[in-house]
Amino acid sequence: MDLNSIESQTDEQLMRLAIAEAQAAQSAGEVPVGAIVVDPDGNILGRGQNRVLRDSDPTAHAEIVALREAGRRLSNYRILTPEGGCTLYVTLEPCAMCASAILHARITRLVYAADDPKAGACGSVLSVLNHPQLNHRVEVTTGILAEDCSRMLTNFFRERRGKPLLDPHPIDAQDALTGGPNDDQKEGSQEKNRDQEMVREGDDGLNPS
């Protein structure tokens, strides 16, 4: 029996729960990012979705919300159980804030779907996790259901901008964060500049700082 295939299937199943959190965030008008924290036995300790607008809280990213719930459940700011460390599933590569929280929480494994080429802190832009001068190491798995999560982000921003939604064909994560492939070139430099602004968890131009 292929243990890697079993693990991949489990990762997909758990990532779909994170996607469900992202969809709930989208329904509430938030950028669709979702996360869950799972213990070594597969029990969900915390669920999170982007809540920055609803809570007026710049730190209420999906990962932070899920980690807070897990910490309350364990009565410990270290997300550790007697059976071992826990896994965080999230639909988008964590930013620097969330990556730092993952380290402080002593998360053992991170599984994320889409890369964030504008603000990702797990290798895309910064490498906060597994820095040689830090004493905690996190196993990182990427790309689980990345196409689904990228398309969800893309369509969220396209709908906000009054653009037609993309068809079901997959796109890459860069397109997910810039509003879709090739449209910028067609619509002129002003549209291009707007589409290329990084819009992560709540900063979509509708809630200026």
| Active-site annotation, residues | 63
Identify the three-state secondary structure at position 202. Answer: coil
The β-bridge relationship of strands 34-38 and 44-49 is: antiparallel
Distance CA 101, CA 94 (A): 10
- Tokens 């196993």 belong to 139
Contact 118, 87 (CB under 8 A): no
Backbone CA torsion sign across 167, 171, 173, 174: negative
Q: In degrees, to the nearest 5, what angle opens at C-alpha 140 toward C-alphas 58 and 52? A: 10
Contact 107, 137 (CB under 8 A): no
Identify the three-state secondary structure at position 130. Answer: coil
Backbone angles phi, psi at 90, to 5 degrees: -145, 150
Distance CA 16, CA 89 (A): 9
